Amino acid sequence: MAALFIQLIYFWFVFSKLAFYNAAKRPVSDVKEPVSVIICAKNEYHNLVRFLPQMLEQDYPEYEVVVVNDASDDDTYYLLRELSDKHPRLSVVNISQNLNFFKGKKFPLSIGIKSAKYDLVLLADADCSPAGPDWISSMQSAFTGKTEIVLGYGPYTPQPGLLNKLIRFDTLMVAIQYMSFSLSGMPYMGVGRNLAYKKSLFFQVGGFVKHYRISSGDDDLFINQVAKKSNTRIQVEAASYTYSKSKQTLASWYRQKKRHLTTGSLYRFGHKFVLGLYSLSQMLFFGLMIALAILGVDWKLLSGIFGLRLITQLIIVKKSMIRLNEKHFFLLSPLFEIWLMLINLLLGIRGVFSKKTQW
């Protein structure tokens, strides 16, 4: 079965790159380059109260935290003014008027990068909590040689409930793909919750100018544009993670996924091909298994085919969960995979007709 063969190639020759990745063998930087952490905030008062102090208390010799207050109408301005009096590392950029005509995060993020003092910029969201005081140090350590981009991991905090597990599984599978393809020499995206690159690279390509009218894509479209095998690395150390709270309702998570998937059609052709081939072969595999079962094909043969892929998937998922410090949804992963396949199919179809979204 061709669909099975293609799926096994992806699992064993691509996704295994992350599953069996040995970070201890990768070189680390001996130089502590100064870092500019950049956070864009729009009405994020409560998140900034909780998480910004953690960004300002990192164990790192030279860094700044640039917070871009994007015309917030809550108490963000007063909070940032109070914190800047206490923390000399905090630099605040206030956008007092709604100048962001194209919506989204790209305009305030561009302002933040332009305002950064240092060439190495590390991006996070206002609702992100660093794994610990070594977050900056861990992400910066991957900048060796010609590295200009470091792709980090931004998991969601474990919470009770099936939806949280589904969202965390989805986050894991996205990471398996973009990190494994990066390790295979084809980096195609990163996540803005935990992403680092050189400011000089940003301005060298004109920032977001090629896709500025697209409200989303400040992370994946930019990385898709500039990332190469020679200038991109991943960082999977637990100390490098940033944690966020997942959506609490299926509807809000659906809207979030819908927004994130609007940019896929703008990826490079090669990236769209390999990602599309995986999704197509995945759907064909399950569809053909159902069709062959209905047609009365020998159940022993079908069980063997299905079991071969299932065991392969479980091995890769389990090893990747260990690699990325994820827990408590392994046994549900086969069911989650089918749910996500159907959700992504629905979103892909509806995405053709989706409107521009705000961040």
Query: Which two tokens mark 224?
Result: 């898709």
- Domains in the chain (CATH in brackets) are 23-158+186-247 (3.90.550.10)
Say if CB 183 and CB 234 are below 8 A apart: yes
pLDDT for position 104: 78
pLDDT for position 357: 43
- The predicted-structure confidence for 2-38, as pLDDT tens digits, reads as follows 999 999 999 999 999 999 999 888 889 889 999 999 9
Calpha distance 36→140 (Å, rounded): 11
pLDDT for position 147: 97
Distances in Å between the alpha carbon of 164 and those of 158, 191, 238, 255, 327? Answer: 7, 19, 20, 15, 12
- Closest Cα to residue 292, out of 305, 279, 276, 273? 305
Res 356 pLDDT > 50: no
pLDDT for position 353: 56
Calpha distance 144→41 (Å, rounded): 30
Calpha distance 317→56 (Å, rounded): 35
Instruction: Look up tokens 């020998």; give the residue.
Output: 298
- The predicted-structure confidence for 78-111, as pLDDT tens digits, reads as follows 999 999 999 999 999 999 877 656 577 889 999 9
Range of 157-166, 203-212, 260-269 with top mean pLDDT: 157-166
Say if CB 171 and CB 155 are below 8 A apart: yes
pLDDT for position 44: 96
Query: Which two tokens mark 169?
Result: 């599984």
Confidence of residue 212 (pLDDT cuts 50, 70, 90): confident
Which residues in the chain belong to E strands, given as ranges? 35-41, 63-70, 90-95, 120-125, 129-130, 149-151, 195-198, 232-234, 242-243
- The predicted-structure confidence for 185-204, as pLDDT tens digits, reads as follows 999 999 999 999 999 999 99
Longest CA pairwise span in the chain (Å): 74
